[in-house]
Amino acid sequence: MEDALDALFGLLPRPGGVRAKDWQAVRGRLRVDLPADYKAFIDAYGGGRVDCYLWVLEPGCANTFYDLITADEERAEANGQLWGGGEAKPSELGEADARLIPWASTDNGEFLYWLARPGQDPDAWTVMVNEARGPWWEHVDLTFTRFLTAALTGAIRCEILSDLFPTCPHDFQPSRHFA
């Protein structure tokens, strides 16, 4: 994890003034621990917009549009209504108690989630991407850090995300600047 996190840190300029989160409180709210690489990223950067497109959600963000806990509640309700109304549920959620936890959204309305399977270590969670206002899902067998690094370097191309992402040079704007 350290090498992947260092690679990600080398790609994005780091803002100052970031305060570490109370991860025990976050765990209490979500009823699950989050991946260590994500927590290290948030403790170093906070939530924010990557390359003017991808919003990394942050628990306890002053701007509720970019708050991970708020997004988790809203997306669980919205997805539940869609799937209850006949839209196909991603096959990756076929396992009982499998769960999606949103960790990013985009300016276009796409959401990026962790696929949290029961009994699985959060550090092994992989990424699910859902198109804006539609039933198309992509599963990417990478962790948070590996996905974000691969997306920023062009090592992977997610079909759902904008062709204009990523940009070069890379940019990071903290969510707190948009509160």
15: CATH: 3.40.1580
Closest CA to 17 of 175, 171, 169: 175
What is the DSSP pairing of strand 137-140 with strand 172-174? unpaired
Residue with tokens 């960790």: 103
- Can you tell me the mean pLDDT for 116-144? 95
Residue with tokens 């959204």: 105
Per the structure, the complete domain to which residue 94 belongs is given by 2-178
Q: How many domains does the chain have?
A: 1
Q: pLDDT tens for residues 151-172?
A: 999 999 999 999 999 999 999 9
CA–CA separation, 77 and 2 (whole Å):
35
Better pLDDT: 116 or 16: 116
- Can you tell me the mean pLDDT for 98-109? 96
CA–CA separation, 31 and 29 (whole Å):
6
Helix (H) or strand (E) holding 174: strand 172-174
pLDDT at 8: 92
